[in-house]
Structure 1
Amino acid sequence: MAADEEKSIQEELSLLILLADRIIKSAQEAESSKPDCSELAKQTAQLAHLLRSTVRLASSTQSLYEPPLRRIASDLFKHLDRALALARKCKHSGVLRQVFSITTTADFRKLYNLLESSIADIKWLLSIFDSESGTNLSLPPIASNDPILAWVWSYVAAVQMGQLRDRIDAASELASLARDGDRNKKIIVDEGGIGPLLRLLKEGASPEAQVAAATALYNIGTDQESVRIIASKLAVPIVLQILGDSPMRVQVTVVNLVARMAEMDGGVQEELGRENVVRPLVTILAMDVALDDPKGQSDSGAPPSIHSVIQIKKEMTRSSFGNSFSSSDGSSRGGNHRKEKEVESPEVKLRLKIGCSAALWKLARGSVLNSRKITETKALLCLAKLIEKERGELRDNCMMTVMELAAVAESNTDLRRSAFRPNSPAARAVLDQLLGLLKDESSGALLVPAIRSIGSLARTFPAKETRIIGPLVAQLGHRNADVATEAAIALWKFVSPENYNRVEHSKTILEFDGVPRLIKLLRSNDRSQKHELVLLCYLALNVGNSKALEQARALNIIEGAARSVVAQHPELRELFARAIHHLTLYQVGAHPHRQPYAP
């Protein structure tokens, strides 16, 4: 950090005033160019007066917006330093006076222009600091070539120092500027706009002010760097406070901000999880959703004990609006907006739920911490209910959340066993919805995440789970090639070496005529057939002696495709070689001295 940036703004201004006083004294003592020095002293005196006004303002203002003041002060220091050197030259007399007279006339003219610009800059600065005058959109000389910079300074100053109406309007203008381009966002961040917006959001002066601030932060946070800066200004505790106790229309903008922050940076995503932003999101998402188990059964399938019933009631009490969140002073704040929530329009409630579902989706993506926190709540049951009853964006987001949770569970054994164990009512509810989509849904937008979810959970299903294999096999014939390929990927996870029940699952695929469907898909799909061929290879390894594979001429198909696929995916070389060798042993008519495949 530079030395001048380490000084307080009052110290910087005081140094400028001292420098101005020296210039005035030197100009008054001049032996040459007296008219020019007189004008210099006059301009400098005007600057000194403005600087003293600025010092008084800085000393009496608790939250002074400093970036434009520091920029102007830095330029002014250079101008005054130049003026002092010139004034001192004018003290010379005799021969030296004649030497300097030619150059000083031109120098004075340049200096006058610089000082006039500085005077205009400081006047402009004082005007944007005047909370009574509103936002000043005129251009100071220092930003004459960059209007956006002047506007950002003016708007941020208004957000930080203005009256409430001006703060709201300025935050809305910053939101608009940020939406218009990446350069604008960078200027807002570089000029210290994040802190004032977060303070406006936290203070809760009015819902309109909070919405404007959150919208501006959302529009700014479109890349990793800006999101990290937002988080570094303690945004997460502010977000938690608002999700706990704010009108719904404010929460709508804040949950969108949470989703954006979680999406843009993995570190911030984890921070949101550590601070447990998941719980309020799930609580909001579960509004008006009946989450009680109709069978009254615990996860183990046994009747609940008295102790477990008491614990469930306590948990439901903690997670309800009105008791779930506390303010920093420990007082309950959750009830402040309860009545407002009850009478809020269905449209706002829907937007809030859509935002919460998107935030949970982004929080879950690739994060074991967040996925565990989500599944430790009633989220899975809530997501299942919403997938069943809702339509549109809310349903899509819930489906994407399930897909991300399942993807994390696929690579984390503990999460898979705790959240998606087969006898869990919540896991069964989710599975029922996934199977319902496989049987009744035609849209790829929902089928793809549903199929991916089932594939990720392939290792959780018992050997005789035919109600899953059948619908997946049927999707191999889907007219949408993406859906069919996803079905092939999911099925090979059921029959891969990592799946303990791979042989039984392979036999089930054959029972549902999976091989003919797979061969038809291979012949009709003109795209990369890697996943379909991997599935065929695994079937060959697990049930290579089956009539279905022999009738489908699986050996010829794998051999015909092997070289081209392995050329693009060398990691599959061994799999293809083993599948071909295995089929060669079982297929009738295969020559015992057949040349082995060597891709």
Structure 2
Amino acid sequence: MAAKPSSTAVTPAMIPQKLQPQKQASIDLQEKRIEELLSFPILLSDQIAEAVNEADSFKLDCSEVGKQVERLCQMLRSAVRLATSTTAGATFYDRPLRRIATEVSKNLDKSLILVKKCRRRSILRRVVTIVSAADFRKLLLLLESSVADMKWVLSIFDSGGTGGGITLPPIASNDPIISWVWSFIASLHMGQLPDKVEAANELASLARDNDRNKQIIVEEGGVSPLLKLLKDSSSVEGQTAAASALMNLANDKERVQTIIDGLGIPVIVQVLGDSPMKVQIKVANLVATMAKHCPHAQEDFARENVIRPLVTLLSFDLFVDDHKLKIGKQSIHSIVQINKEMEKKNLYKPGLGSSLSMHYSEGSSKGGNHRKERENEKPEVKLQLKISCAEALWMLARGSVPNSRRITETKGLLCLAKLVETEEGELQYNCLMTIMEITAAAESNPDLRRATFKTNSPAAKAVVDQLLRVIKESSDPGLQIAAIRAVGCLSRTFPARETRVIGPLVELLGHRNTDVATEAAISLGKFACPENFLCVEHSKTIIEFRGVPPLMGLLRGGSERVQLHALMLASYLAINAGKSEELERAGVLNAIEGVDRAFVAQHPELKEWLSQAIIHLSVFHQSHSGMLAQRPF
């Protein structure tokens, strides 16, 4: 315990030459040591005591002010002792004390000014300076509030953060949330473990209510102690509560950045890799939420290699001896890379006898200390963990080529394809959405597309098989749309002979759900667009599978979005296969020529394709050869 400070310990350098409350409030108090901050009101208290002794008028009122100020001074000294004392494993949470000390200083400054007016003065100064009893009543009310605030904050610190939950300090009378947040954060810093768990749960509840509460928790320094509790592996309940609170805070880019700035991502990845399943579920949800709302989190998580433990957990309990996962099906290069990575972690010695199942059971940090517990967990807990991990991978892959590449490098595609095949519901949906994001990344990045979705790749074949199965068999439009988009993103990877992909898409052009039909048209458009090297062959295949009649149905009826993508596909077919009699019989030329000018003006990308389509159709269908000049776009 530090020695009791005295007024003589305060140096003049600590005190402003002139007491200006507004200017004082503008100082960045967080940069000042708490002892320095508290020294100012302590010195003010001493100055007020001297002024009270010199008072010539309103002596009784000045004496009452002196008593209140003395109480404040004693409390301020107690606060200094608490702030300078050290407790093993605990840190002093000074945020509420800083805020209250600032208000106390303002009220003490007002007290000093008023009491000084009561000293002996000349007759002229007495006439000019008028002091009334009402001034003292107002001042005493302010001092009483300061006393109550100090009493509250000291009770918080004395009780380890648990003493202020019932009472409400005057400083928080208009906003009780702030006092609750202070109390809970103080518990996280200075309380016993059960108190910390309760405080984290309370913060999670407050954060769940509204964004304002979230912002207050972050601004008052709640992230750091929550991360510390998350890292404490001695309490599953504490880690679960901390992860829940952080997840509720992380629905905003700036708040996620605060977690990142607090060095939270290494902590999160470490806990994810070696914790009980119930904790891993919450942490995976936290990863998903942070990645969803902040691109920087996506990048930082990738740098910390969070994808590997996520894939590991997602593949836990899979039938890894399936023929698709056998090591014999992997390339020699893949075997060498896996062995090198695992050698670095000292998990096993390299050798061709090493099983891929060893790769999947690898942990990211301590190597599966909780593996036996995981094996004995309830099936619903295992399922929820996989759901959470799949969602985290989805959010990490969304719009990110590097993260999509990392997932494929961990053999995650095989795992995702297997789960799409064997699971249903939310897990199947999350896995399918992850695949969709990976294919979208491959569409925009030729290197990733060539490396991952080669024709002879077992992973690529497994993914395509499951995408086609969902397209053909699923009755859920959400799953179908995700699968359709994924196939469309892979359109440049399919050879001309791969007609099994186009057939199911053509069938969906007539689907009763217009969203599914529209997505099918968009996907087929990627096969038939001139940017696709095999666009002519694919266009002929679409026509051979009788895709024109349902396409005309989309052109005649439907929303603006439906008509736009149907026109794009019709234009591609006309440009690539304008000679087809099927196009003539269906009246594609008349349909294109009948497009409203205003519609084309709203979608300028259509103008060039429609003009080219009319030219190609007019060349092959002489009965309409003169129409082009009559209907230019």
TM-score (norm 1): 0.94
Instruction: Choose which of 148, 152, 156 in structure 2 pairs with 1:128.
Output: 156
Aligned counterparts, 1:362-511, within 5 A: 362-511=395-544
Residue 209 (1) aligns with residue 238 (2): yes
| Aligned residues of 2:274 and 2:363 also touching (Cα < 8 A) | no
Does residue 563 of structure 1 match 2:602?
no
Q: Which residue among 78, 83, 95 is the counterpart of 1:53?
A: 78
User: Which residue does the alignment assign to 2:21?
Assistant: none
Aligned equivalents of 2:66, 2:353: Cα separation in 1: 79
Q: 2:101 aligns with which of 73, 90, 97?
A: 73
AA at the equivalent of 1:565: F
Alignment of 1:46-125 (within 5 A): 46-61=71-86, 63-95=91-123, 98-99=126-127, 102-125=130-153
The letter of the residue matching 1:231 is I
Deviation at 1:32, TM superposition (A): 2.5
Where does residue 156 of structure 1 map in the other structure? 185
Other-structure match for 1:242: 271
1:256 aligns with 2:322: no
Instruction: Tell me the amino acid that sits aligned with residue 446 of structure 2.
Output: T
Q: CA deviation at 1:102?
A: 4.4
Does the Cα contact within 8 Å between 2:439 and 2:486 map onto a contact in 1?
Answer: yes
Relative distance call for 1:227 and 1:594 in structure 2 (3 A) is closer
Equivalent-residue separation in structure 2 for 1:555 and 1:351 (angstroms): 53
RMSD: 2.3
User: Identity of counterpart residues, as a percentage?
Assistant: 55
Match of 1:514, as an amino acid?
G
CA distance in 2, matches of 1:306, 1:560: 61
Letter in 2 for 1:397: N
Decide whether aligned partners of structure 1 residues 251 and 538 sit closer, same or farther in structure 2, where only a CA change above 3 A counts.
same
Question: In 1, Cα distance between the equivalents of 2:199 and 2:337?
Answer: 55
* Residues 33 and 101, structure 1, Cα contact 8 Å, conserved in 2: no
Q: Which residue of 2 aligns with 1:181?
A: 210
Q: Distance in 2 between matches of 1:43 and 1:339?
A: 63
Q: Is the 8 A contact 1:19 1:81 kept in 2?
A: yes
- Deviation track 1:485-537 (CA, whole Å, cap 9, x = no partner) reads 11111101001111101111111111111112211332343443111110010
Tell me how far apart the structure 2 counterparts of residues 185 and 107 of structure 1 sit (CA, whole Å). 40
**Residues 111-152 of structure 1: CA distance to partner in whole angstroms, max 9, x if unpaired?**
111111111001100111123672422110111111111111
* Deviation digits for residues 333-364 of structure 1 (CA, Å, limit 9, x no counterpart): 33432222121111111111000000000100
Change (3 A) 1:527 1:591: closer
Q: CA deviation at 1:454?
A: 0.3
- State the Cα distance separating 1:205 from its structure 2 match: 3.4
CA distance in 2, matches of 1:130, 1:463: 77
Question: Which residue in 1 is equivalent to 2:169?
Answer: 140
**Distance across 2 between alignment mates of 1:83 and 1:303:** 79
Point out where structure 1 has 5 or more consecutive residues left out of the alignment: 327-332
1:324 aligns with 2:354: no
Matched letter for residue 457 of structure 1: L
Any conservation in 2 of the 1:463–1:504 contact (CA below 8 Å)? Answer: yes
2:614 is the counterpart of 1:580: yes
CA drift at 1:198: 1.1
Helix, strand or coil: the match of 2:316?
coil
The structural deviation recorded for 1:588 is 3.8
Separation (CA, whole Å) in 1 of partners of 2:338 and 2:185: 53
Alignment match, 2:296: 267
Alpha-carbon contact 1:384-1:433 (below 8 Å) kept: yes
Aligned to 1:329: none
Which runs of structure 2 are paired with 1:209-358 in the superposition (5 Å)?
209-292=238-321, 294=323, 316=356, 319-321=359-361, 324-326=363-365, 333-358=366-391
In the alignment, what sits opposite 1:516? Answer: 549
Q: Aligned residue for 2:564? A: 530
- Change in CA separation of 1:160 and 1:302 when aligned onto 2, cut-off 3 Å: closer
**C-alpha distance in structure 2 between counterparts of 1:304 and 1:272, whole Å:** 24
Alpha-carbon spacing, 1:315–1:257, altered in 2? closer, same or farther (3 Å): farther
